[in-house]
Amino acid sequence: MDVRILCLLLLLNNGLCSSFELSKEFDVKPLIRDFRDKNTYIRARNEMIFAESNMRIGHDIVLNNQEQKVNQKLMKYKQLEINESRVQNGKPFPPSVSFLTGKPLVEKSQVFQMIKLMPKGAALHLHDCSMVDLKWLVKNATYRDHCFMCTTVKHAVYFKFFGGTPPDNPDCPWKSVKTERQKARSIDEFDNMLYMNMSLITPDPVKAYPTIDVVWARFLQVLNQANGLINYTPVFTDYFYEALSEFNLDNVQYLEFRGLLPQVYELDGTTRNRDWVMKTYNDIFEKFVADHKNEFTGGKVIYSGIRVVPEIDVLNQVKEAVRFRQMYPSHFAGYDLVGQEDPGVPLISYVDALLYPSEHIPPIDLPYFFHAGETDWEGTPTDRNLIDAVLLNTSRIGHGYALTKHPQVMKVVKERGIAIEVNPISNQVLALVSDLRNHPAADLVATDFPVVISADDPSVWGARGLSYDFYMAFMALAGETTDLRLLKKLSMNSIQYSAMNPVEKGKAMNLWRQKWNAFIQQALHQLNQSGEISVFG
């Protein structure tokens, strides 16, 4: 049998075909005719299926024998889990269920368990104060001395650390967390209340968050609630170290996050400025890498303004970003604007400030990483942020949810390799799409767009690291037959499209390769132990 036919058969049976490549360009014209016999038909059909599989993210990955064995196992799980939901078998399909209630379903998945083990490269779209599991904030930060809480009339709990007696706060009087916890019926119940109060988790998300504006209001509020804990200097430094630890534990070796570089406070009420914050990030990156040699690569900060401020503030932030990039070349990447995009000021209104680096003589190189197109509202100023992002030479696009409605922007993105930072769970929880199989990134995956998968604000919806979002990408942004090659390529993409310089990328890829090989060995070992390898032996 011709190896090409064999490959087609393999592909049709289990989505496995990696030993060689057919030509990528596939001419449809000859197919379009009346078929005079079934064999010709089936051949044309297989060619078309193969041609599509050959356009997908990961089509250029060649799996070795060992990887193929792991892949077979992974695909067995994937097909099993899909079939449990598909065609009247009735189990809810996790990517179709709000993550706020569906997280336990994901955790039961064997596919998810394999993805957790897998090195996922870099997390490129995160935010400073929503990276760490809220349980850590509750179990660590709120147990520290001097921690106070207050509860508003609307039952939102805010926190602050005070050296002495807290000031009067009539609308929301400060109480010692320690005392409140002691007074509580049960410590677990009390801590769980704090956890739920700082998260979006709720038993009926449709009812609790009927519109995107409602969920965003609550989202910004819970971030604000946690900030009282996070922005206390000792917690701040520990929080960031913990963030790196959690991502490292989830087999992520590098991260880039949007940072507001907020004012951080001391017990005596004095505050630390942006320079202190940036230096702290820099030093903790260095320390963490030193503490985790041959394990963790590092990361970079993307300084971010909030898309509501006057243009003069944006100009000052841009200038500050230029300065930070000179001061911290290893750990500072560039500039972005954050906040809910629909009601926010569109990029075009900040264009004078944002053109500052390129209008300078000689031009200043300040990479941008714009959030753009995080909207369902086509044709609006928000939607046009995608156009400004690429015209302003953005290095990547945050979300780019509306991209597929913009054929010209798509052309630029593909030609220039502008990575789209896709955050599936975030887009679901923050009400852009309910069933992740309808996420437009499925089309980007189908046509090998430069896509990276990230987690946005995992803490807020009870996720941790990147694995949950990788699971959604694998199960919902790609079809039943799309295999390990997608995951491997997404993982490699995350390093390729990071803000690292070529030398840094080379080092990171070397480490990634070691981790990948170790993962394959570990997965094979598990298969061997469970005796299942014999099936494929």
CA-based torsion, 503, 505, 508, 512: positive or negative: negative
3-state secondary structure of 361: coil
Using CB under 8 A as the binding rule, the residues of this chain from 125 to 184 that contact a second copy are: none
Query: What character string, x for contact with a second copy (CB under 8 A) and - otherwise, covers 213-232?
Result: x-------------------
Q: Which of 3, 30, 34, 294 binds a second copy (CB under 8 A)?
A: 34
**Quick one: 86 or 513, whose CB is closer to a second copy?**
86
Smallest gap from residue 197 Cβ to a second copy (A): 24
In whole angstroms, the minimum distance from the beta carbon of 443 to a second copy comes to: 5
**395 to 414, contacts with a second copy by CB under 8 A?**
404-409, 411-412
Reading the block at residue 377, the tokens are 């509202």
Q: Which stretch binds a second copy (CB under 8 A): 165-173, 243-251, 253-261, 355-363?
A: 355-363
Binding to a second copy (CB under 8 A) within 45-64 occurs at 45, 48-49, 51-52, 55
- Would you count residue 65 as binding a second copy (CB under 8 A)? no
Question: Using an 8 Å Cβ cutoff, are 225 and 157 in contact?
Answer: yes
Separation in Å, CA 1 to CA 6, 7, 64, 250, 428: 7, 10, 21, 43, 46
Decide: is 77 part of the binding site for a second copy (CB under 8 A).
Answer: no
From the list 169-177, 245-253, 435-443, 460-468, the region that binds a second copy by CB under 8 A is: 435-443
HSE, side-chain direction, 13 A CA sphere, residue 391: 11
Residue span binding a second copy (CB under 8 A) among the ranges 2-10, 38-46, 150-158, 185-193? 38-46
Q: Which two tokens stand for residue 255?
A: 């991260």
Q: Is 22 in the site for a second copy (CB under 8 A)?
A: no
Residue with smaller CB distance to a second copy, 207 or 293: 207
Cα–Cα separations (whole angstroms), residue 278 to 51, 93, 351, 514: 48, 42, 25, 31
Choosing from 374, 421, 439, 504, the catalytic residue is 374
Which of the residues 125, 127, 399, 439 is marked catalytic?
Answer: 399
- Return the closest-CA partner of residue 485 out of 18, 124, 3, 5: 18
Residue 399 designated active-site: yes
Radius of gyration of the CA atoms of the chain, in A: 24
Q: Under rule CB under 8 A, which residues in 295-354 are in contact with a second copy?
A: 342-343, 348, 351-352
Q: Does 393 bind a second copy (CB under 8 A)?
A: yes
Contact window for a second copy (CB under 8 A) among 26-34, 112-120, 195-203, 318-326: 26-34
CA 114 to chain centre: 18
Catalytic site includes residue 81: no
Identify which of residues 134 and 314 has a Cβ nearer to a second copy in the complex. Answer: 314
513 binds a second copy (CB under 8 A): no
Contacts with a second copy: how many residues (CB under 8 A)? 78
Segment contacting a second copy by CB under 8 A, of 30-38, 117-125, 331-339, 486-494: 30-38
Identify the bridge partners of residue 397 per DSSP, sorted by sequence position. Answer: 420
Give the C-alpha separation, 5 to 7, whole Å. 5
Any contact of residue 416 with a second copy (CB under 8 A)? yes
**Residue 388 lies near a second copy (rule: CB under 8 A):** yes
Find out whether 302 and 334 touch, Cβ atoms under 8 Å: yes
Between CA 107 and CA 116, with CA 110 as vertex, the angle to 5 degrees is 65
Q: Is residue 482 near a second copy by the rule CB under 8 A? A: yes
Q: How far is the CB of 213 from a second copy (least distance, A)?
A: 5
Asked if residue 355 binds a second copy (CB under 8 A), the reply is yes
Q: Please tell me whether residue 481 binds a second copy under the rule CB under 8 A.
A: yes
Angle value at C-alpha 58, between 57 and 63, nearest 5 degrees: 170
| Interface with a second copy, residue 372, by CB under 8 A | no
Nearby residues of 347 by Cβ (< 8 Å), 6 or more positions away:
337, 354, 370, 372, 385, 388, 389, 392
In whole angstroms, what is the distance from residue 466 CA to residue 490 CA?
12
CA dihedral 505, 511, 514, 520 (to 10 degrees): -80
Give the residue, chosen from 69, 371, 384, 464, that forms a contact with a second copy under the rule CB under 8 A: 384
Edge to edge, the sheet with strand 147-151 lists: 157-161, 147-151, 175-176
Residues 1-20 that bind a second copy (CB under 8 A): 15
3-state SS record for 230-251: HCEHHHHHHHHHHHHHHHHHCC
Q: How far is the CB of 193 from a second copy (least distance, A)?
A: 28
Among 227-235, 268-276, 479-487, 488-496, the segment contacting a second copy (CB under 8 A): 479-487
**Chain residues 436-465 in contact with a second copy, contact rule CB under 8 A:** 437-438, 440, 442-443, 446-447
Among 387, 509, 524, 533, binds a second copy (CB under 8 A): 387
What is the nearest approach in angstroms of a second copy to the Cβ of residue 401?
9
Please, which residue, 36 or 154, has the CB nearer to a second copy?
A: 36
- Least separation in angstroms between CB 75 and a second copy: 11
Is residue 240 within 8 A of residue 233, CB to CB? The reply is no
The residue among 218 and 272 lying less far from a second copy, judged by its C-beta, is 218
Structure tokens at 428: 């679901």
Under DSSP, the state recorded for 300 is E
Q: How far is the CB of 144 from a second copy (least distance, A)?
A: 37
Nearer to a second copy among residue 206 and residue 518 (C-beta): 206
User: Rule CB under 8 A: is residue 80 a binding residue for a second copy?
Assistant: no
Q: For helices 502-529 and 484-496, what crossing angle results, to 10°?
A: 160
**81 is a contact residue toward a second copy (CB under 8 A):** no
Distances (CA, A) of 39 to 44, 87, 201: 9, 29, 54
Locate all alpha helices (DSSP H) within 173-251, ordered by sequence. Answer: 177-183, 187-197, 205-208, 212-230, 233-249
Please, what is the minimum distance in Å from the beta carbon of residue 94 to a second copy?
A: 13
Residues identified as active-site? 374, 399
